[in-house]
């Protein structure tokens, strides 16, 4: 999913992205106590960023560039296609992250996905609608696991992502990393005769591995992964 890279059993810790940047800027644990914000303050900055609309505006800046490229490029290639991530790319899980104070567990995540309450990220939905209306194939490639397919499909359709060529989900026990999974799925799309004009995601692993002409990286203020 716009799911972070993780072990098949244990998932790497999720940290607010602004906190991680502050730690990196200060040299991590080697910095002094005053050289980076406290965890509570970093979390509050993330809340302010999202709830003020700053996150959506930042997403819109990226998707505007992606849509401009798609409009120019799609008419020039045979069987154009786009590849979209889901979590924090097509659907927002902000209520889940906010209500659990940026914590994560398999049980709470599965319960959240089963509710199918994630809301569409509107700038990505606009990109999707243009593609769907202009003979561009839409593929979802996500780190969400295969057992959540029914809930994921219901959530996508309820939020306006009504049809797609394929929804590629990780096997339940996948353990080779997100980038390997996603690049392999894009390769299969190419081998089926499509031209992957662009891929859109919120983690570098969504774009790594090639098999797309262009990659567009969205901001993710809730978490980042190694």
Q: Which domains does the chain have, with CATH numbers?
A: 19-52 (no CATH), 58-217 (3.40.50.1000)
165 half-sphere exposure, CB direction, 13 A CA radius: 24
With both helix axes pointing from N to C terminus, report the angle between 106-115 and 149-158 in degrees, rounded to the nearest 10. 50
Largest CA distance in the chain: 56
| Rounded Cα distance, 123 and 160, in Å | 12
| Rounded Cα distance, 55 and 50, in Å | 5
The conformational region for residue 88 under phi > 0 = left, psi -120 to 50 = alpha, else beta, is left
Q: What is the pLDDT of residue 15?
A: 44
User: Which pair of structure tokens corresponds to residue 158?
Assistant: 């309820």
Give DSSP secondary structure letters for 92-113: E-HHHHHHTTT---HHHHHHHH
Instruction: Work out the mean pLDDT of the chain and round it to a whole number.
Output: 86
If DSSP codes are grouped into helix, strand and coil, which group holds residue 21? helix
Torsion sign (Cα): 118, 124, 128, 130? positive
Q: What is the pLDDT of residue 38?
A: 78
User: Residue 184: what are its φ and ψ, rounded to 5°?
Assistant: -65, -40
Share of the chain above pLDDT 90, in %: 72
pLDDT tens-digit map of 69-121? 999 999 999 999 999 999 999 999 999 999 999 888 889 999 999 999 999 99
If DSSP codes are grouped into helix, strand and coil, which group holds residue 147? helix
- Mean per-residue pLDDT, 148-153: 98
Share of the chain above pLDDT 70, in %: 83
| Rounded Cα distance, 172 and 6, in Å | 12
Would you place residue 141 in the very low, low, confident or very high pLDDT band (cuts 50, 70, 90)? Answer: very high
If DSSP codes are grouped into helix, strand and coil, which group holds residue 141? strand
pLDDT tens-digit map of 183-198? 999 999 999 999 999 9
With both helix axes pointing from N to C terminus, report the angle between 39-51 and 54-73 in degrees, rounded to the nearest 10. 60
Is the predicted pLDDT of residue 126 greater than 90, yes or no? yes
Would you place residue 226 in the very low, low, confident or very high pLDDT band (cuts 50, 70, 90)? Answer: low
């Amino acid at each position: 999913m716009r799911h972070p890279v993780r072990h098949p059993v244990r998932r790497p810790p999720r940290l607010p992205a602004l906190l991680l940047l502050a730690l990196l800027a200060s040299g991590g644990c080697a910095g002094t106590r005053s050289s980076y914000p406290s965890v509570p303050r970093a979390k509050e900055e993330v809340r302010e960023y999202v709830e003020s609309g700053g996150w959506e505006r930042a997403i819109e800046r990226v998707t505007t560039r992606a849509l401009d490229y798609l409009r120019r490029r799609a008419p020039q290639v045979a069987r154009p296609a786009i590849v979209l991530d889901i979590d924090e790319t097509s659907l927002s899980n902000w209520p889940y992250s906010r209500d659990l104070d940026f914590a994560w567990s398999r049980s709470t995540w599965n319960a959240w996905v089963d509710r199918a309450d994630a809301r569409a990220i509107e700038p990505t939905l606009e990109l999707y609608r243009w593609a769907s209306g202009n003979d561009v194939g839409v593929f979802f490639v996500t780190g969400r696991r295969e057992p959540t397919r029914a809930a994921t499909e219901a959530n996508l359709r309820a939020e306006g992502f009504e049809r797609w060529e394929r929804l590629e989900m990780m096997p339940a026990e996948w353990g080779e990393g997100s980038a390997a999974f996603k690049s392999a799925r894009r390769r299969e799309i190419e081998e089926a005769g499509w031209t992957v004009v662009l891929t859109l995601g919120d983690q570098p692993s969504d774009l790594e591995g090639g098999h797309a002409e262009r990659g567009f990286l969205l901001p993710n203020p809730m978490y980042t992964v190694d």
